[in-house]
Structure 1
């Protein structure tokens, strides 16, 4: 805590336009490097109020774990955002404190390491089935459409209880809400279709319960543990967060491994020679890849808090860059290099504190097995197009490839 008369020279400066979009690929925008030795920076997103930006690992961890920085307050404010539509949520991403703990407790037991480890065999089976189809069809193939997308989507849909026939509806919805510039009219149109389908799944499980997460949530609603609005919000968050991040990361990881001249090129040879290195490689690539394009949901200070040499006053917004924190040179020596034997601080790609990613263990299994099966079964895998023909997502929430053409 700091005296509120403390002068803050950064506050009077014109806010920087944020986010700092990269043109393409997995590089981190050079603006972060310029800001590393400065206090927190004022930034202005395309919509909403100005905010502070934290990029050092110590500051980012503090924001994500300190209850004085409220995630739920953003729902009530004109919060900083890259799209015109404000965020509304009755799920985990719109709550703090006891209400957040109540909802998280319902889901956390379903995503523990103990519950997820038995899924290893099923992930292996899904991966092999997808690779069988690729081999039967023959090269070339799109590793995103044919593998990186259906692998985690199939698994999360099975865990929740979403019928396979409805997977395209889910993917269309997730693609739309993940875009940085969705048309509000288009959002409303597809929201009607998606949530009508979602309510149909709920009613089907109400009539005929099954051994899946959807049935557990319906049961919790009937017992009064959650409301109908909370059930809908949780299902929406689980579907969006349950596969789109892993889909993009599988593509990002293989781009690191396959692109000529990339740091991952030597790593590819190491992994082919010793698949036992894959868990370490996954952690290092999770650190290295700027998946969120520097964007996180904003938090609001509930009281004056000193952070990074700056006084963040009560009612002010703050955003953090997990991508920049993961390349903090004060924590990770040679942060721009992929190094398997890092022994210092862990990355922060799954978040930190009360909102740490529920599906972190599941994601790790999917990434590890997803890499291992391809490297084992397709040792000659390579790009089927020149690097300059790869199409990267531009100015969207998640960094990723639209397609990854490969041959073998």
Structure 2
């Protein structure tokens, strides 16, 4: 476990390494059990003590079996001590047998760790409609050893079409105690709030009141994971899971605690970092796109507009082609469903203003093209109607996206 400090943002120390096993008392690992040909496909997280747990789930009506089982686990005591994740097969749309397999997956994992069954959560990601190879998963669970702590293997074991692992960690000081927050995520395609083919696992050694832990997770998720899009598809398996085991020994945090905003800020940093990594790793993507909307009537309007722009296939393909086609941006703002004064809008691509007061202004086409050659693109939309602001993240849309998804099962 590394703890090199990359940077310090006010009272938050951002760590260059570290993820779900960064906080005290957490271990993680991953292995190959045979669902995939040779890559790691079974990952686990374990806390030395039961942890307060909170989660948010996909809004897709076809919720996968493991989500139903995990919701039941958390509902029992609002606590978890372990998480088992498989990749390669989603165990979604698999009927009663799929649900039984999810329960069996939870049971065998809990028994192996000698923890109560409802202290175990399960998650799956991969192809929809296939049944889990339970014998392979059983053999994999038997190989899990808590003496190992290889969070990088966990990060690899949860991937599907991702091209890179995703982790983040911070440290904050609360009541004179060093509190860590870490996380890992997967996601590349079928990414669109709320949420997408993404799984995120967040851990902290802070002591936090469960009710407020859930509220913080919902608030932060709405500003981070729910503000990314790759292709407009919302999957069946998505979940963000947060565990707080209290081993930092701080006074329990709640909304009334003086340092509650600091905890939420640290949680936001971890979740936003993971969300940006998912957007950057969109299937076939070559650029990370960040859309800032300012001056909206309220934050909700700004968020809706920013998501409409970053999610527009025409905007995404223009960015891939390095074409400063501002008409596509204005068009997406217009169909966002949010009323605006079209005679006030200002649009900029990076530092280059291309629309002012709703009309095009002279700009250097070459400078705009040169800016779009970068691998990180920012678009600014100013509405001059209020104090609302919102930021959304996405990626360009390339030929490779079609290739990847046309042959996903083959």
The structure in which a higher percent of residues are helix is 1
Fold conserved between structures, TM > 0.5: no
Q: Could you tell me the TM-score, scaled by structure 2's length?
A: 0.25
Query: Quick one: higher RCO (CA 8 Å, sep 6+), 1 or 2?
Result: 1
The structure in which a higher percent of residues are strand is 2
Q: Could you tell me the TM-score, scaled by structure 1's length?
A: 0.25
